[in-house]
Amino acid sequence: MTNHEPFIDGAVETEEARGGVSRRSLLLTVGGAASLAAVPQVAADSISEGGPTASTRRVRLAVNGTRHELDLDTRQSLLDVLREGLDLTGTKKGCNQGACGACTVLLNGKRVVSCLTLAVMHDGAEIETIEGLEKNGELHPLQSAFIEHDALQCGFCTPGQIMSAVGCIAEGHAGSPAEIQFWMSGNICRCGAYPGIVAAVADAAKGT
Ligand code: FES
Ligand code: FES
């Protein structure tokens, strides 16, 4: 028993004795109402649907040049479809809320954070991921530049950085280190490899 309990019990008795609503009785009433509300909802869900509640839709995606027809849960992000449906795990899941850029891919040539877009919204789209950059055994110039400039430490952010850099260069936003920093600012590197990243993107941009 703590020093506070007698005081609380005393206060409860005093309020109830005066015919008011005590804190304890109020909590019991509210808590009971919440429990009663939750139980029928769960039961109704399982009875009315008779199983999983997810709906699916057929979606066609061309990923790194390969065409897929997929029956997708309408709630799946593009990131989850790539990683879990197509086993393309090069695209990373960092924050899963649009804040880090680790999941960046090209969607119809434009860079997007794939964790924030539903795959079913993109029927017929062309997607490019980090796995699609190497061609005929040759690294993409950005991949080579990242290696040359030691633009990574743990490497977790690197696929997103490189895909974002592909978009950044294609947009014409890689004309100077300051411009690269600005237009790549959605891609976070927790290892702080930014000097190498900017140098690599600048180098690759010169070669295009
Ligand atoms: Fe998509 Fe971080 S995982 S932005
Ligand atoms: Fe580790 Fe960027 S290299 S987060």
Query: Tell me, what's the pLDDT at 207?
Result: 83
Cα distance between residue 36 and residue 48, in whole Å: 19
Q: How far is the CA of 158 from the centre of ligand 2 (A)?
A: 7
Query: Tell me, what's the pLDDT at 54?
Result: 61
As for ligand 1, residues whose beta carbon falls within 6 Å of it are 93-96, 98-103, 113, 115
Query: Average pLDDT of the chain?
Result: 81
Per the listing, tokens 């997007």 go with 112
User: Could you tell me the pTM of the whole model?
Assistant: 0.75
CA–CA–CA angle 122, 127, 129 (5° rounding):
140
Q: How far is the CA of 164 from the centre of ligand 1 (A)?
A: 12
Residue 191 neighbours by CB under 8 Å, 6+ apart: 152, 153, 154, 157
Does residue 133 carry a pLDDT above 50? yes
Does residue 4 carry a pLDDT above 80? no
Model confidence at 33, pLDDT cuts 50, 70, 90, reads very low
Query: Which domains, ranges and CATH numbers included, belong to the chain?
Result: 54-129 (3.10.20.30), 133-208 (1.10.150.120)
Instruction: Answer for the pair 68, 77: CB distance below 8 angstroms, yes or no.
Output: no
Residue to mutate (ligand 1; options 82, 100, 118, 190; most atoms within 8 A of CB): 100
Which of ligand 1's atoms lies nearest the C-alpha of 188? 2
Contacts 24+ apart (CB under 8 A), 26-30: none
Cα dihedral sign, 195-169-205-180: negative
Instruction: Please give the average per-residue pLDDT across 144-159, as a whole number.
Output: 98
Which of ligand 2's atoms lies nearest the C-alpha of 152? 3
Which of ligand 1's atoms lies nearest the C-alpha of 95? 2
Residue to mutate (ligand 2; options 95, 130, 154, 184; most atoms within 8 A of CB): 154
Return the minimum-mean-pLDDT range out of 44-53, 57-66, 112-121, 185-194.
Answer: 44-53
Element (H, E) at 127: strand 125-128
As for ligand 2, residues whose beta carbon falls within 6 Å of it are 152-158, 189-191, 193
Burial environment of residue 29 by CB neighbours within 10 A (0 to 12, 13 to 18, 19 or more): exposed
pLDDT digits (tens, 9 = 90+) for 76-125: 999 999 999 999 999 999 999 999 999 999 999 999 999 999 999 999 99
